[in-house]
Structure 1
Amino acid sequence: MTFDKGRALVIGIANYAAVEDLPAAVLNDALDTAEILKSPKYCGYPEANVTVLTDEAATLENIRRALADLAAAATTDDTVAIFFSGHGVRIGKDAAATSALVPYDCNLTDVTGTTLGEAELSSAITAIKAPRVIFVIDACHAAGTVTLKSGIGEHTEEVIDNGFDEKSLEQLARGAGRVVFASSRAAETSLVLRHERNSVFTTAMLTGLKGAATAASDGAIRVFDLFNHVSETVRQSVQGQQHPVFKASDLEENFPVALMHGGTKSISPSVAQRRRDLEQIMPDLFPLGPTDQDIWLRAGGDVSRLKLNGNGRAQWFAAIRLISLGGGGDISRESLIGAALDEFPAHRELKELL
């Protein structure tokens, strides 16, 4: 009863050699994510397929080697999950700024040369042959509820800021089947509430991986459903102080990322849902996105509120999520389905969603 085509690399760093430490929850996030992924009661990844690097093991050399090993091992049948929890930095100013993940052995006198920059990281992800890759990045941390720990950039002439920006996330998501989840927007921090074992973001992700994010009927936890659960749970937990980010530029399916509660059987990532949801149906009918044939406008939506990034399927996912958050203008799921039925009146799956 395993998700036998699943592979994962989990990295968590709270106790740095030279950079100021992060809350213990940052390390717990990585350890608990790895255990849930490997658990036959939950996600069902084979234990041998999950690599974990924490604190002093998460050096720049070891992270590079682990990414290279993942690229060498992953096949075109696999699904790959990469999780990073630790410091992230933005190096440089304005349009020239780039983002980087901070390994355990970062040298504060040479931050650029001793971090994993977005260009190198993007190349490492591109080298992974698996057609389904999800990269979860939690690198804008807060210590406690409001105080952001610093310490990076104080000993260098480089212009350094904390966090990981949206432009860099978009670069990491380039390519077919590549998805990026980020714990928060660049201007926000990833909150760790006092006395909690895990960060707000990872708490939501862990409950999703344990089964709360399941919308399919095939025993799988799928990527859109997982993000919807995480985003809504985080929003409710901290009352709009933190907004997880989803990035994908060429995503054609709501692919499985794990089994639900170990599943009732071993499944292939290509298994289709028995009942498709709106996020899957609309891209088939309007493949260019919410502006295709003015469907969003005809359903009462405000096109100016849409973020039209990526391909049509990614745009639809973001647009339908906007409806669930109460945005988009005078539009609802029901009005969108109704507008689509005006053009496809015999569409059985759409009718079942009303």
Structure 2
Amino acid sequence: MIKKIFNEFEKKIETLKRLEKELKSLDSEGFESEVEALKSKLKRPDKIPEIEKGIAELKRKVYDKSAEAIEIAVVPEVAPAPKNAYGVVIGIGKYKDEGIPALKYAKEDAIEIYNILTDPKYGGFPRENVKLLLDEQATLTEIKSAMGTFLARNAGENDMVCIYFAGHGSPELDPTGKADDKLEKFIVPYDAKKDDLFGYGLSMDVIREILDKRIESKRAVFFIDSCYSGEAGGRTFSRPDVAARNITISEKFLEQLSGEGRIIITASKPDELSLETDELKHGIFTYYLAEGLKGKADLNGDGVVTVDELYSYVYEQVTKKARQLGGGQHPLKKGTIVGEIPLTRCETEEMMRIKKLNLNASRLFDEGEYEEALAIWSEVLRIDEENAEALAGIGESKKKIEEMKVILREKQRRLLDLHNRGLPAKEYDEAMILLKKNPRAYTELERNIVEYIEKLLKGDISIDVYVDTLKLIKENYKRDN
């Protein structure tokens, strides 16, 4: 009991040291008063949950501040888990119109995101619930059908919806002048015509109408790996009449695309390029999006990647990588949600260790090594005191150990009775020692002896036969060895 209390105390001290380091790293971020308030609680192990919550809130403020994004309204509790999950994943690397530049990795980007979403280890979306449209499959009609019909007919208000697009985005002059930058923005489908995006492109107005009027989900996330600057070198292009005007593209269309229960995360600001690189063999936004979904964005280490965590991770990594490549790329997040949206599950190092320990304990339990299994499951509880598998395993192990003790006591009682009826002291003592010994430690000779001990205890052989057989077994063993 004392050892358990000491271990728990030691674990809390290590946690406080880790939290102190995290607070030091936040000192220079402009939140001095909040940091000092949390530091004052570092001598109180009972304040660990409060400190962790405070650090998580400060980290979110730091990322939101650096991202220059609309602050998301989040209530403290996590949103209810979606009943079902649906998705549409689109990747277009080559276009029917040869005047539209090809993209080297857009198709591969979409395949990577699709694989993560449908992998039981990560997203767990049923494959039949996710539409994958690649290159020539991603026509204007098919994209509208996937978003406006497939999602509309299947995804309910409490269901998770994830839409991903990798391909060209493009601006076109808006003759009505409704947009504040006088430009209409389009997602470019496979069969688009470069000189007629209004007729053959998918406008943001149409997408907004689909999201507003046809998709009921209040758990919708839309990832867009394209850009709208019209500059060469990224996932965008434009007609000469647009490029000649040198217009700064407004973010307002992204704000209009987002809404309550809907998050839009784009690869870059509208007037920046969304870059691809041969080094990563992906667009840099999608590369870090994928890495984040697979676990690197699990900032609090709870085994779940949420939208907020993912954006924070992606923003930091993409901006850093873009600087290394000599460019500027700043992902944007727009929208409001109630609660946090969990996107994927992942295994932290601690979770993988627990999983390995549980597997080893289960194997030992199946082999009848209940003491060893109990020891390993007890180790799991020192890491995660609420681990259900370990708690159940400990209960079953203790039960089996007690059963084995009862069986051993009965065998010892019967041996004593046999001793009183004539079993020699030497053979009696030997049998008592072997019954207490772990069977895994038996030598070949001891295994043979135990086989006849069991026969003696069951009454299958007499004391005389047992003694004579034992003598013969030992003589043969001595001769052969």
Partner of 1:53: 133
Partner of 2:85: 6
Match of 2:161 among 61, 75, 80: 80
1:304-348 CA distances to partner (integer Å, 9 max, x unpaired)?
Answer: xxxxxxxxxxxxxxxxxxxxxxxxxxxxxxxxxxxxxxxxxxxxx
1:229-270 CA distances to partner (integer Å, 9 max, x unpaired)?
Answer: 10011122222721100101x322221122225999xxxxxx
Partner of 1:231: 315
- CA gap of 1:9–1:165, structure 2 versus 1, over 3 A, is farther
- Does structure 2 retain, via aligned residues, the 8 Å contact 1:87–1:162? no
- Does structure 2 retain, via aligned residues, the 8 Å contact 1:75–1:130? yes
Higher RCO structure (Cα 8 Å, ≥6 apart): 1
- CA gap of 1:109–1:91, structure 2 versus 1, over 3 A, is closer
- Does structure 1 retain, via aligned residues, the 8 Å contact 2:267–2:274? yes
Partner of 2:117: 37
Partner of 2:215: 128
Partner of 1:71: 152
Tell which deviates more after alignment, 213-222 or 181-190.
Answer: 213-222
- CA gap of 1:149–1:135, structure 2 versus 1, over 3 A, is closer
Do structure 1's residue 112 and structure 2's residue 192 form an aligned pair? no
- CA gap of 1:152–1:5, structure 2 versus 1, over 3 A, is same
Structure 2 unaligned spans of 5+:
1-80, 175-179, 353-481
- CA gap of 1:217–1:6, structure 2 versus 1, over 3 A, is farther
Distance (Å, rounded) in 1 between the aligned partners of 2:317 and 2:242: 40
Structure 1 unaligned spans of 5+:
265-354
Distance (Å, rounded) in 1 between the aligned partners of 2:310 and 2:108: 20
SS of 1:24's equivalent?
coil
- CA gap of 1:213–1:153, structure 2 versus 1, over 3 A, is same
Structure label with greater radius of gyration: 2
SS of 1:95's equivalent?
coil
Distance (Å, rounded) in 1 between the aligned partners of 2:120 and 2:126: 8
- Does structure 1 retain, via aligned residues, the 8 Å contact 2:233–2:275? no
Partner of 2:414: none
Partner of 1:347: none
Aligned-residue sequence identity (percent) comes to: 31
Match of 1:184 among 247, 256, 268: 268
Q: Could you tell me how far 1:87 is from its partner in structure 2?
A: 0.8
- CA gap of 1:232–1:66, structure 2 versus 1, over 3 A, is same
5 Å-filtered alignment, 1:203-242, equals 203-216=287-300, 219-239=303-323, 241-242=328-329
SS of 1:238's equivalent?
helix
Task: Give the root-mean-square deviation of aligned CA atoms.
Answer: 3.3
Distance (Å, rounded) in 1 between the aligned partners of 2:226 and 2:164: 10
SS of 2:190's equivalent?
coil
Q: Could you tell me how far 1:150 is from its partner in structure 2?
A: 6.5
Q: Could you tell me how far 1:77 is from its partner in structure 2?
A: 2.4
- Does structure 2 retain, via aligned residues, the 8 Å contact 1:3–1:46? no
Partner of 2:340: 254
Do structure 1's residue 28 and structure 2's residue 112 form an aligned pair? no
SS of 2:107's equivalent?
helix
1:141-188 CA distances to partner (integer Å, 9 max, x unpaired)?
Answer: 89xxx834776436x9999999985111111102x2110000001221
